[in-house]
Amino acid sequence: MNCAARLVEIFGSQAEVARAFRLDRAVVNNWVKSGYVPARWATEVERVTNGGIHAVEVLNEASAKKPVKVKSRPEGHLFGSPLSGKEAMNDFAPAKRISSFHPPQRTLMGPGPTEIHPRVLTTMSQPAIGYLDPVFVEMMEELKGLLRYVYQTKNPLTFPLSGPGSVGMEYCFVNLVRPGDEVIVCKNGVFGARMIENVERTGGKAIVVEDEWGSPVDPDKLEDALKKNRDARVIAFIHGETSTGVQSDAKTLVKIAHKYDALAIVDAVTTLGGSPVLVDEWEIDAIYSASQKCLSCTPGLSPVSFSERVVDYVKSRKDKIHSWFMDMNLLLGYWGATTRTYHHTAPTNSLFGLHEALLLIREEGLENAWARHQRHHNALKAGLEAMGLKFLVKEQHQLPQMNAVRCPEGPNEAEVRKTLLNEFSLEMGAGLGPLAGKIWRIGIMGYSCRPDNVMLCLSALGSVLSDMGLAIHVGDAEAAAHEAYASMQ
């Protein structure tokens, strides 16, 4: 048991440890999460515990967890003695000695990536096997089945693309948009704008339906655009706009698209696993997401799903899809059949991790996962509002897992985030585009969506803002969150 855990055992709770050391509870929480007490507290720990934990124990543990940095070796002695006659190779070596990378323990409460469940990390550390190994092929089929569960679909073509969510977005446009096609794109944030870029790069013509950042897509505006542009055969929108924390009515938007015989591309990067996404019930044609948000896996995979209507359309295209890697017809041979044909070297261990992450959601229950995100959002919201902070998005359109909060007047918002990272090892996101410097984006996604993270965020943020001169009482925020939790039991 490490020294931080022993302190909690001695005093009974993190709150009592904080009281004994006259610290904010968020500091103690960070000790526990990091697995050690910083060396500067060694003598104080021995004094407060009356010798129950010796200073040397704290020092030894801290030095092992966070070793002291030493000066680089002088040039010419970078990696030991070079082989005879090969001295010139060192001209290309880094200018300093490099050792193994060990990232600090962070509490990730930004727009992504999220914290990764320990079971996922353990699974990813398993031995690598070939991407055409029969055992791996069997796992691929299980993975497709688990993705159909979280997407709530029976679409045969449901699988994870090799690449981040941006690859999923581009994959949809590359396969569904031909040069000259008219595509209606709903833009209410950064990622709607990125959709426009994708349309233009495929040679299509983007017809933009624009809403204010922080507002959902207006269904009436979409229908009006479809009435005026009868040749448009594809519409696209963001279900949960990560840059603003707003959620649009996907079911209604898809229904309007089908009324005018258009296909619907839906971005579910932030919503999949955290909010209802019902592909079959809503009759979504093409949808993509990402592994690093509510699915609690590492970045680098983009789960996608396509209706039979989309697959038939892509197969019927007479022109050659301009991206070899993203050509659906070619990938069908690897992901779409039981007999696999080589396409590319799949990231096998990342797929192990996604399999485990989806299994965790299946064990929890999809509806329970949605409810968990809503529950912790309600508590976080209550605490933030008790501090006097305001949300960008109206309550009925707020995305539970991505909270866009207006920065208060006074403190420098970047300095607040910097202090949270340096003092509490807590990451929050900044605003993008016209919202840069105006909002914070606080994520509670996947494995990061836990009560201890909610309380740490409130305690740490409240403490920093109070230290910077705002009249904020951390206890009021914590009490509001606890009251919200109690009301939901």
Residues 290 and 396 both lie in one domain: no
- Residue 379 structure tokens: 């508590």
111 assigned to some structural domain: no
- Please provide the DSSP assignment of 11-30 as one string: HSSHHHHHHHHT--HHHHHH
Q: Which of 105, 139, 163 is the last residue of a domain?
A: 105
Q: Domain end: 363, 396, 414, which one? A: 363
Q: What is the rounded distance in angstroms from the CA atom of residue 361 to the CA atom of residue 107? A: 21
356 and 230 share one domain:
yes
Q: Based on the number of CB atoms within 10 Å of its own CB, is 432 exposed (0-12), middle (13-18) or buried (19 or more)?
A: middle
The verdict on 332 and 420 lying in the same domain is no
Residue matched to tokens 């030095």: 63
Task: Please indicate, yes or no, whether residues 370 and 357 belong to a single structural domain of this protein.
Answer: no
Look at residue 199 in the predicted model and tell me its pLDDT.
Answer: 98
Domain carrying residue 149? 118-363
Q: Which residues are 241's β-sheet partners?
A: 246
In a domain, 389, yes or no: yes
226 lies in the same domain as 284: yes
Q: Other C-beta atoms within 10 Å of 12: how many?
A: 9
- The answer to whether residue 113 sits within a structural domain is no
CATH code of the domain covering residue 12: 1.10.260.40
Cα R_g (the chain), whole angstroms: 25
> Residue 283 domain-assigned?
yes
Tell me how far apart the terminal alpha carbons of the chain are, to the nearest angstrom. 32
| Same domain for 196 and 88 | no
At residue 89, the pLDDT reads 67
The pLDDT, as a whole number, for residue 66 is: 65
Non-local (6+) Cβ contacts of 293 within 8 A are 112, 113, 114, 269, 270, 272, 273, 274, 401, 443, 445, 446
What integer pLDDT is reported at residue 80 of this predicted model?
53
**DSSP 8-state secondary structure symbol assigned to residue 448:** G
Quote the pLDDT of residue 81.
54
pLDDT digits (tens, 9 = 90+) for 333-367: 888 766 778 899 999 999 999 999 999 999 999 99
Q: What is the CATH number of the domain that holds 183?
A: 3.40.640.10
**Residue 146 falls within a domain, yes or no?**
yes
On whether both 329 and 211 belong to a single domain, the answer is yes
- Residue 445's domain is classified under what CATH number? 3.90.1150.10
Rounded to whole angstroms, how far apart are CA atoms 284 and 277? 10
pLDDT at 243: 97
Which tokens sit at 76? 């010419």
Write the CA distances from 80 to 71, 74, 75, 98, 144, integer angstroms.
Answer: 16, 11, 11, 12, 48
**Same-domain status, 386 and 359:** no
Same domain, 205 and 311: yes
The DSSP-derived string for 67-91 is PPP-PPPPTT-SSSSPPTT-GGGGG
Q: Of 105, 131, 147, at which residue does a domain stop?
A: 105
- In this prediction, residue 336 carries a pLDDT of 78
The answer on 379 and 246 residing in a single domain is no
CA-to-CA separations, 469 to 156, 412, 465, in angstroms, rounded: 57, 11, 7
pLDDT value, residue 87? 60
Looking at residue 341, its pLDDT comes to 83
Residue 110 lies in a domain: no
Nearest Cα residue to 444 out of 455, 434, 435, 459: 455
> For the chain, what is the mean pLDDT?
92
Q: Are residues 143 and 260 in the same domain?
A: yes
Q: How many residues belong to the chain?
A: 489
Domain count, the chain: 3
Q: Are 319 and 432 in a shared domain?
A: no
Structure confidence at residue 411 (pLDDT): 96
Residue 476 within a domain: yes
Measuring CA to CA, which residue among 89, 79, 37 is closest to residue 61? 37
Contacts of 265 (CB under 8 A, 6+ apart): 172, 173, 176, 195, 234, 235, 236, 237, 285, 286, 287
The ranges of the chain with pLDDT < 70 are 66-90, 337-338
SS3 content of the chain, % helix, strand, coil (to 5): 50, 10, 40
